[in-house]
Amino acid sequence: MKKANKTLQKECIQPLLEWYRADARDLPWRRISDPYAIWVSEIMLQQTQVATVIPYWERWMKELPTISALASAPVDHILKLWEGLGYYRRVRLMQKAAIFIQKENGGTFPDQDEAILALPGIGPYTAGAITSIAFDRPNPILDGNVIRVLTRYYGIKENPKGADCLSRLWELSHTWVDQADKLKPRASHNCSHLNQSMMELGARICLPNQHAKCEKCPIKSNCEARKKKIVET
């Protein structure tokens, strides 16, 4: 197992980290490690393109820069800030969570995994994103982009929505971020950057269907889908 992990680090984790650090998009929420700001970005990015989210996020952070500000804001105001993003249940749950944090934790975003996962509107993916990006913890993430990267890299043909396959993908995601955490130096935001590199790869390079830009992929040499010429999902 140790040999396999060393191979994974050399052939996959390190190239991904190097690629991300050299070529990642300069997104405003990537310039900070505030868990509140990252939480807002992750909720906005659900079902919404990055280019659309950027001005909404910047306006939101200017108007409601803290959890306390969100907790005390009039509902009409937060709905107006959200107008155009759709799926309004997301923003209502955000304020519900902010009110809870304000009451139970003095407006400070919790730093314990279990407490974050228990907040309204936060599921395993969002919790993993917040804790890995803000706190650099080796917690896995799994969204559509990451699923596509993992299924192609390992040549997985099963339906990723199936329970068994989904469980395997969570395990693989955890293995990748765990191996990133073991790289030295450990104070290099490896967990944060690894998870973001998988999302970045799926969003820009490992695109759906026949649109994948395999020639630009930093881990193409060991991608099973590319080897078998089955980059089609």
Q: What are the structural domains, with CATH classification, of the chain?
A: 2-24+138-227 (1.10.1670.10), 28-135 (1.10.340.30)
Do the beta carbons of residue 16 and residue 194 sit within 8 Å?
yes
Per residue of the chain (233 residues), what is the pLDDT tens digit? 565 888 999 999 999 999 999 999 999 999 999 999 999 999 999 989 999 999 999 999 999 999 999 999 999 999 999 999 999 999 999 999 999 999 999 999 999 999 999 999 999 999 999 999 999 999 999 999 999 999 999 999 999 999 999 999 999 999 999 999 999 776 689 999 999 999 999 999 999 988 999 999 999 999 999 998 887 65
Residue entry with tokens 């293995």: 175
- Closest to 191 measured CA to CA, from 204, 206, 174, 203: 174
pTM: 0.94
Cα separation, 126 vs 77, whole angstroms: 24
Do the beta carbons of residue 30 and residue 196 sit within 8 Å?
yes
- Closest to 126 measured CA to CA, from 139, 136, 145, 112: 139
Angle between helices 190-204 and 14-23 (to 10 degrees): 70
H-helix segments, 66-223: 67-72, 75-82, 89-105, 113-117, 124-135, 144-154, 163-182, 190-204
**Active-site residue identified among 42, 104, 171, 200:** 42
Which tokens belong to 67?
A: 């959890």
Terminal CA-to-CA distance of the chain, rounded, Å? 30
Cα separation, 177 vs 87, whole angstroms: 30
58 catalytic, yes or no?
no
Cα separation, 117 vs 158, whole angstroms: 28
Which tokens belong to 36?
A: 């509140």
Cα separation, 154 vs 159, whole angstroms: 14
Burial letters 27-66, b for 16+ CB under 10 A, else e: eebbeeeebbbbbbbbbbbeebeeeebeebbeebbeebeb
Which tokens belong to 122?
A: 């936060």
Helix (H, G, I), strand (E, B) or coil at 110: coil
